[in-house]
Amino acid sequence: MPNRPSLHAVESGICFVDTVEKLTTSYTTGKTRSLDWRKTQLLALKRLLEENQHDLLKALKKDLGKCETEAMVAELGFLLSDIKHTLKHLDKWVRPRSVSTPMVAWPGKSFQQPEPLGTVLIIGAWNYPLQLLLAPYIAAIAAGNCAVLKPSELAVETSSLIATLIPQYMDTSCVQVIEGGKEESTALLACRWDHIFYTGGEAVGKIVMAAAARHLTPVTLELGGKSPCFVDKNTNLAVTARRLVWGKWMNAGQTCIAPDYVIVEKGYEQTLIEAIKQEINNQYGEAPLASRDYGNIINQRHLKRLESYMDNVNVVFGGEVDEARPAMAPTIVLEPSHESPIMKEEIFGPILPIITVNNMDEGIKFVNDRPKPLALYAFSDKDDVLDHIIQRTSSGSVCTNDTMMFMTNPELPFGGVGNSGMGSYHGRAGFDTFSHLKTVMKRSFALDVFFRYAPFSKLKLSILKRFL
Ligand code: NAD
C-alpha cells in the first residue's frame, strides 16, 4: 500500500515507513488470519506477563509508585484475565454472524464475516502504562492484525521494559514497539495505518484524528474528561465513602475513570466529608504520603499542575505535597468556583472537589451543561433516584453504588462519548474494533427470476412491488 511520509515527519528526520511496510508485508502473507497464530500469540503474551511479573511490578513501582496490589489488580491481573476471556471466546467471535435473508434474495445466505483490518497503531498513556497499551494489543491480535505499539514516554521504566520484552516473546514480523515522545508519535501518525487506537488527552486526540483523516484511517479515541459522582443523602454512607475513596485515590487519582468531583445536596456535604476523611484514614492511615499503598504523581510537571489547582479554593482536607517522591496527599476542596481551573479542567490527580446543589435535578443540569464525561457515578438507596440520573445524563459508562467496577466485566464495552472519546474495547467490543465486519451474501444459481431484469413492463413492476 502507498505509504508516503508527510512533510512534517521528514522534517523531524524520523521515519517509520519501513517498519509499517515490513509489518504489512507479513500481514499480506495471511499468517495473522490463522486462528492458531492468534492463540499462540495470546499465549506468548500471557507467558511474557507471568514470567516477568517481578520486573513489571518493579517498573510500575518506579514509574508511579504503584503498590503491588494495585498493579496486580489494574495492570497485570487485568491483562491476564483479558487474555483468558479472549482465548475462551475467540472461536465464537471469529465465526460468521448470520442474519436472515429477505425472500427477494432466496435462495441465499446472509452474514457478517469478521476480518482483520491489517496493520494498526496503538498509542498508550502513562497512568496505566501496561494495561492501556497491551489490552488493545490483545484485541488487535485476537482480530488477526499486525501492530505497532507506542508506549507513553512518561512511564519511562515500563516503556523500556515492554520494548525489551515484546521482541523476546512475540512474533516480531507482526509487532514492533516504538518508544519515544511527540516526534516519534508525529512520525508514526504520518504513516498510513489500517486503524489507530489512541489513549490519552483530548488535545492530542485531535492531533491523532487530524493525522488519521489524511489517510481516511479509522480511529478509536479513548480520552478522558471530568467524571462526576452524585451522592444522594439517602445512601449507605459508610460503603459510599469507602468505594468513593477507593475509586478516587487508586493510583493517586490518575485514573481516567476516577470520580473527578462529587455532587451532593446542600446540608449533606459536611456529613459526607467527615465520612470520606474517616475512610481515607482507614485506607491510607493518618499520613497517606507515608503509606506504601499510596501512589506517586507521574512527574514534577504534573505535581505543579495539581498544586496550581489549590490556588484560591477552599482546601478542607489534605493538600500536603512531597516534592521528592513526587506525591500529593488525598485532598478535598469544598465548593470551588465553577469557573476555577479545577472545575474547568480534568483533575487527573488526588484532589476531590465537592459541589453542592439544591436538588439532584440541579446536579443533572450541572453535568449536562458540560462536555460528556467518560464515566458517571451515583450513590443512593433509592432506585428511582439512580434511574433518573442514568436516564437524564449521557456518559461513556455509568456505575451506581460503586466506582470503576464496570471495568471488571469484559462483557461491557469501554469507551467514551462526545469529548470523552469514540469507539470502545474490552472483550468482544475490542475484537470488533480491530475487525471489519464484512457483509456477505451468498447466492445460488437456482431461481433466477425474470422480472428483475430489463426490459421492464407493467407486469414485471407489479410483481416486483409485491416484494418491496
Ligand atoms: P500521555 O502524555 O502519555 O500521552 C498519550 C500518548 O500520546 C503518549 O503515547 C504520547 O507519546 C502521545 N503524544 C503526546 N503528544 C503527542 C503529539 N503531539 N502527537 C502525537 N502523540 C502525542 O498521556 P496524557 O495525554 O497526559 O493522558 C492523560 C489523559 O488521558 C487524561 O485525559 C486521561 O483521562 C486520558 N486517559 C484516558 C483513558 C481511557 O481509557 N479513556 C485511559 C488513560 C488516560
92 and 109 both lie in a single domain: yes
Q: How many A from CA of 69 to the centre of ligand 1?
A: 24
64 and 142 both lie in a single domain: yes
Domain holding 292: CATH number?
Answer: 3.40.309.10
Question: Which residue from 174, 169, 132 is spatially nearest to 154, judged by alpha carbons?
Answer: 132
Helix axes 360-368, 383-392, angle to 10 degrees: 20
Residues 113 and 145: their CA atoms lie apart, in Å, by: 15
Q: How many A from CA of 137 to the centre of ligand 1?
A: 17
| Domain edge (last residue) among 415, 432, 451 | 415
Cis bond leading into 114, ω under 30°? no
83 and 154 both lie in a single domain: yes
234 and 188 both lie in a single domain: no
- 447 assigned to some structural domain: no
Catalytic residues: 222, 256
Task: Print the domain residue range for 405.
Answer: 228-415
Contact between 316 and 287 under an 8 Å Cβ cutoff? The reply is no
- 464 assigned to some structural domain: no
For residue 105, the Cα-to-chain-centroid distance in whole angstroms is 41
Please tell me the residue having the least CA distance from ligand 1 atom 17.
182
Residues 64 and 70: their CA atoms lie apart, in Å, by: 11
254 and 202 both lie in a single domain: no
Q: Which residues line ligand 1 (CB under 6 A)?
A: 123-127, 132, 150, 152-154, 181-182, 185-186, 189, 199-201, 204, 207, 222-224, 256, 346, 348, 374, 416, 421
436 and 404 both lie in a single domain: no
- 1 assigned to some structural domain: no
152 and 242 both lie in a single domain: no
| Domain edge (last residue) among 415, 430, 455 | 415
Question: Which residue from 64, 74, 251, 252 is spatially nearest to 158, judged by alpha carbons?
Answer: 64
Query: How many folded domains does the chain comprise?
Result: 2
18 and 161 both lie in a single domain: yes
Question: Which residue from 299, 4, 28, 288 is spatially nearest to 145, judged by alpha carbons?
Answer: 28
38 and 164 both lie in a single domain: yes
- 459 assigned to some structural domain: no
- 172 assigned to some structural domain: yes
Structure confidence at residue 9 (pLDDT): 53
Burial 209-241 (b: 16+ CB within 10 A, else e): bebbeebebbbbbbbbbbbbbbbbbebebeebb
Please tell me the residue having the least CA distance from ligand 1 atom 39.
222
Locate 231 and state its grid cell. Answer: 451522592
* Ligand 1 atom nearest to CA at 150: 9
- Ramachandran class of 205: left when φ > 0, alpha when ψ lies in -120 to 50, beta otherwise: alpha
Q: Other CB atoms closer than 10 Å to residue 52's CB: what's the count?
A: 19
Q: What is the mean pLDDT of each run of 10 residues along the chain (468 residues)?
A: 50 86 98 98 98 98 97 97 98 98 94 98 98 98 98 98 98 98 96 98 97 98 97 98 98 98 98 98 97 97 98 97 97 98 98 98 98 98 98 98 97 98 98 98 94 96 89
* Ligand 1 atom nearest to CA at 127: 43
273 and 379 both lie in a single domain: yes
- 446 assigned to some structural domain: no
212 and 97 both lie in a single domain: yes
* pTM, entire model: 0.95
307 and 426 both lie in a single domain: no
Q: How many A from CA of 136 to the centre of ligand 1?
A: 15
- 448 assigned to some structural domain: no
Q: Is the CA virtual torsion 437, 112, 142, 172 positive or negative?
A: negative
Task: Among 6, 134, 204, 426, say which to mutate for ligand 1: greatest number of ligand atoms within 8 Å of CB.
Answer: 204
- 165 assigned to some structural domain: yes
Domain holding 133: CATH number?
Answer: 3.40.605.10
